[in-house]
Chains A and B, each alone.
Chain A
């Protein structure tokens, strides 16, 4: 299988043979569609994810980006770090803009990938109406929400996706309500494909993007994207933070194909025996001085989520 055969050969395997056989980072195409000159913060995982998303999608792709960190990461006119067309659009409008674009391209006989790359705020809050509309209409596109659990662009205010207890600039005492369950909202639209991913597992992300793009209709990928300034951890710990989110069961990697759930790779083990939650929480300044009650509620939320997904996967309802 690919991997050992050198970049060129692997590349051919990636593009010509079985996309799912990519099981080694070196098999990911070397072409870059997001250049190194981005204006992302040091240790930014959402830009890392974008890099892998675009490698999976390839050059015949248009990215639709609402207001978010990714609008900044691209660079300032006339410079750009992007090597695919990017259509920047207003905060609430990404999924609707992608609807029009997807229909226009198909009317012109093109099979170009249309991918929305939106933050959590642009997805779970202001953009949820257009997201819901586009999914209900069966728009042929891939919607990716990279979730840094706050409004990064405007300086880390809370979003609906900020977890319980997390301090942001508008929840200085810690957020008092739970993270909105975006995935269950999207699931209610019965998309043919949806998945979660995490920046610390780029190969998993890469494969999911490939698979999503092979399916007709509205697809959704929700990526947990740790953010050093927002979560308040040292920049070099970005990968570690993502891994801890998965290993503690706080973030569960799965796919849902035509409704059928399958838990992926590292999450299988994590759900059987999660790492201590403290490993994840204690490394982040945003969770500093959590009250024991909130800490216990966070723990219960994680457990409930693990149980719910385990039972569903096992077919117990």
Chain B
């Protein structure tokens, strides 16, 4: 059905379609609309689910862990401080191999209090064993959330998935949204190691180094297998519903001399910048990185690369810039921009390309090339 909606509403609509048995949630700006909308669906009976209004995000993830292990599909949503507050349980969910889906509405971290978009919250969880996808449109927020359940629950994966959308610039903006009849796209929830009193097992007991090490390797193996599963699910989604996605969204990259790599809404903004640059005769392209974990294999050979990081690892550099560098060997021009919701327009992005200094780093509007 064609409608219009915000990023938050799109996520909630997708969750309704996925019919989780348990939703455990705690409000935080700019995510709150998702959990309010789900509470509404549950109250009106549009979604038959147990809604657990927990007292903290640590408990939200703990409740999702209990519910997922207890044999039902499970969802939560959070942002920023909420994500950091549940950090211990974020690790636990992946280690326990539970296909929980969580929407994270990307937001900056205090102090000072800032509810605007930034990706540092998600990147602070990058080593937890969660799959992470970043979306750029309302439609993609819906589609990626639906696919997240299928990817997470695939027996080759059995890892949780975090769907990231930018605070306000996506969570609160209206775009067209086509909802789908999912039919049997999502099979019934089946967790091979669900708790079963007929077959009593102990979960997460004390574990010695040799076994522990094997379990960690198992997570990594599934992360690697997840690349294929993601591709399969995205292909099936395209066949059924007509919208296709990949590890990156490439725009005018084929013949590009210089490629802008960005994530989330800045990645969409970059497409407009590319059109402007092309008008000026600069052969630019844009590559919006969708999947961050597992990190995709990128082909950027022979191009100049400008990376926009809406995040920072203090004392090190932009997380995406360094990931690109270590995965491709290309030394990009690293632009740190948009922290705490700093406005970055397509004109600004075009400027980054026009004034690029390969190998250097710039804090947009704050520092010169360093």
CA distance A72 to B206 in the complex (A): 7
- Interface residues in A94-121 by Cβ distance below 8 A to B read 94-108, 112
Inter-chain contact A99/B63, CB cutoff 8 Å: yes
CB distance from B23 to the nearest CB of A (A): 10
Closest to B100 in A: A100
Q: Which residues of B contact A98 (CB under 8 A)?
A: 66
Inter-chain contact B74/A77, CB cutoff 8 Å: no
The residue that B70 contacts in the complex, of A75, A89, A108, with Cβ under 8 A, is: A108
Complex interface bits, A78-90 against B, C-beta within 8 A gives 1, otherwise 0: 1010111111111
Inter-chain contact B52/A137, CB cutoff 8 Å: yes
CB distance from A19 to the nearest CB of B (A): 20
The residue that A96 contacts in the complex, of B66, B69, B204, with Cβ under 8 A, is: B66
Inter-chain contact B66/A104, CB cutoff 8 Å: yes
Which of A62, A93, A112 is packed against the most chain B CB atoms within 10 Å? A93
Complex interface bits, B218-231 against A, C-beta within 8 A gives 1, otherwise 0: 00000000000000
Inter-chain contact B55/A130, CB cutoff 8 Å: yes
A88-B55 contact given A97-B66, A100-B24, CB 8 Å threshold? no
Q: Which residues of A contact B200 (CB under 8 A)?
A: 59, 82-86
For the complex, is A64 an interface residue (Cβ under 8 Å from B)? yes
Q: Which residues of A contact B71 (CB under 8 A)?
A: 104-105, 108
The residue that A74 contacts in the complex, of B53, B74, B89, B202, with Cβ under 8 A, is: B202
The residue that B72 contacts in the complex, of A80, A99, A107, with Cβ under 8 A, is: A107
Complex interface bits, B84-97 against A, C-beta within 8 A gives 1, otherwise 0: 00001100100000
Closest to B211 in A: A77
The residue that B206 contacts in the complex, of A59, A71, A96, A106, with Cβ under 8 A, is: A71
For the complex, is A61 an interface residue (Cβ under 8 Å from B)? yes
CA distance A75 to B70 in the complex (A): 23
Q: Which residues of B contact A93 (CB under 8 A)?
A: 58-59, 62, 65, 88-89, 92
The residue that B65 contacts in the complex, of A72, A75, A89, A95, with Cβ under 8 A, is: A89
Inter-chain contact B202/A100, CB cutoff 8 Å: no
Closest to A139 in B: B52
Inter-chain contact B202/A86, CB cutoff 8 Å: yes
For the complex, is B197 an interface residue (Cβ under 8 Å from A)? yes
Inter-chain contact B207/A77, CB cutoff 8 Å: yes
For the complex, is A297 an interface residue (Cβ under 8 Å from B)? no
Q: Which residues of B contact A112 (CB under 8 A)?
A: 197
Which of B63, B74, B197 is packed against the most chain A CB atoms within 10 Å? B63
Inter-chain contact A99/B54, CB cutoff 8 Å: yes
Closest to B91 in A: A90
Inter-chain contact A80/B66, CB cutoff 8 Å: no
The residue that B203 contacts in the complex, of A86, A129, A130, with Cβ under 8 A, is: A86
CA distance A129 to B204 in the complex (A): 23
For the complex, is A11 an interface residue (Cβ under 8 Å from B)? no
For the complex, is B45 an interface residue (Cβ under 8 Å from A)? no
CA distance A38 to B205 in the complex (A): 13
CB distance from B158 to the nearest CB of A (A): 17
Inter-chain contact A84/B62, CB cutoff 8 Å: no
Closest to B49 in A: A107
Closest to A61 in B: B197
CA distance A85 to B72 in the complex (A): 17
Inter-chain contact A62/B197, CB cutoff 8 Å: yes
Closest to B59 in A: A96
Chain A residues near B (Cβ < 8 Å):
59-62, 64, 71-72, 74-78, 80, 82-90, 92-108, 112, 129-130, 132-133, 136-137
Chain B residues near A (Cβ < 8 Å):
21-22, 24, 49-50, 52-56, 58-60, 62-72, 74, 88-89, 92, 195-197, 200-208, 211
> 13 other contacts beyond A104-B70, A107-B72, with CB at 8 A cut-off?
A82-B202, A84-B197, A90-B62, A96-B58, A96-B60, A97-B62, A97-B65, A101-B69, A104-B21, A107-B49, A108-B70, A108-B72, A136-B55
